[in-house]
Amino acid sequence: MPPEHTHIPESEREISLEQWLATDFRNQYNKLVETLGRSVELANGKKTSILEQLSTGEVGIVDIDGVEYPLPKTDEYREKLRQEAEELGMTEEEINEKLKNVITIEDIIRENKEVNETKLKQGFTRLQMTPLGMPLEKLAMVLERTILAHAKAGKLFAVKENPTDPDEPLELDANQPLSKWDGWINPNLPEGQRGADVTGECVYHAVQLTKDKHGEKTKTKILKEQTKNNSPFAGWEVKLLEANINIPRQNKGKTKHNRKQLETNQTPNEYIQTLLTNPQYAHEQGITLEDWITLALTYLEEHNQMIDDYRGKGSACFPTGSYNFAQGGVAYACWNRGGRQAYLSGSGPRTRGSDSGFRSAVEVKRKT
């Protein structure tokens, strides 16, 4: 008899970096662009979306200071430019001159091939493009209206453990689908100025969660540095996330390619120190609140499920990449069944819980 073949879930498959770039990466990129460009209806009847038409004719985002940033480019985009140039009869020299400054996501991933190939084997196969420059206030509003739209359509379900699990509808507080801590979005400030990213109270990727020695930067400073350094992804952060959407509970993490999944029941401070000191988590960073919102939004649009449902199959998340140093709060995000809403909250750096964990990401960036 022929040997039996066990089905391997997509999240468990191992493929080479080039195979991933040619297949999964390209498919994920196109889906992301579609999702981020999808419009939502506001309470006043108007529509908005994350992506918008820029003054250059390109598609991208507008940051907290009104500066425009186009979408990060791909090899497919560069191939299209080359074809157009060839059709215009341009010489190879002219085409190369035209394309020399077009740097793609794939270029940067290949530039750090060894690191990214290792992380791919460890399960970091989910592409994410986070519109970091976009106002937190607007990004949260898009998530809130998307949750409401899914509930109205009867497509708001709890996150699943397995794809074959039955749909479990979630109840929603339609008056407040998203609870927002005033340390992130202050309702007492004028509209458009409510976010801690605008006031400068939020710093990103802090290595110490203390008021005076957080060691990291405001959104404004990050955006200025990206522009100064001619970052190909200015206004954005491109990252690789673990394909497994549910944060494992304590003693439930799996080991893959010499890396054990980070589990619940550690403090934000402990998670940060683990990344800084344990070699198996090299090149990883805690996600930001913008990362979490983008992940929650895209996963909801893909699967009709809300991530980090800690009373269901998921766990709450500490996005340690966002820290309000003025109030001493690190980000805490989840779906709260009791409140029937998503939570963008804050927590103390020493808080721990058996139902609260951590997501890390691998940023796609140039070698330093």
Which run of H or E residues covers position 105? helix 105-111
DSSP 274-286: HHHH-GGGTT-EE
pLDDT band of 211, cuts 50, 70, 90 = confident
User: 139 is written with which tokens?
Assistant: 């990004």
Task: Identify the sign of the CA torsion 120, 123, 127, 133.
Answer: negative
- Report the distance separating Cα 54 and Cα 59, nearest Å: 6
Strand partners, 68: 62
The string of pLDDT tens digits covering residues 17-33 is 999 999 999 999 999 99
The string of pLDDT tens digits covering residues 78-113 is 999 999 999 999 999 999 998 999 999 999 999 999
Answer whether 157's CB lies under 8 Å from 169's CB.
Answer: yes
- Supply the pLDDT for residue 5: 41
CA–chain centroid gap for 68, Å, is 20
User: pTM of the entire structure?
Assistant: 0.94
- Report the distance separating Cα 271 and Cα 93, nearest Å: 50
- Report the distance separating Cα 337 and Cα 128, nearest Å: 26
From first CA to last CA, the distance across the chain in angstroms is 55
User: 138 is written with which tokens?
Assistant: 């607007």
CA–chain centroid gap for 140, Å, is 13
Burial of 334 from C-beta contacts in 10 A (0-12 / 13-18 / 19+): buried
DSSP 8-state assignment for residue 314: S
- Report the distance separating Cα 38 and Cα 32, nearest Å: 10
DSSP 8-state assignment for residue 288: P
Dihedral, CA of residue 194, residue 196, residue 201 and residue 205, to nearest 10: -170
pLDDT band of 213, cuts 50, 70, 90 = low
- Report the distance separating Cα 177 and Cα 312, nearest Å: 18
- Whether the per-residue pLDDT at 300 is higher than 80: the answer is yes
Where do the domains of the chain lie? 130-363
Tokens 């069944």 identify what position?
337
pLDDT band of 44, cuts 50, 70, 90 = confident
Answer whether 178's CB lies under 8 Å from 344's CB.
Answer: yes
The string of pLDDT tens digits covering residues 153-203 is 999 999 999 999 999 999 999 999 999 999 999 999 999 999 999 999 999
Strand 356-357 vs strand 316-317: parallel, antiparallel, or unpaired?
parallel
The number of beta carbons lying within 10 Å of the beta carbon of residue 225 is 12
Strand partners, 343: 179, 334
Task: Identify the sign of the CA torsion 111, 302, 249, 143.
Answer: positive
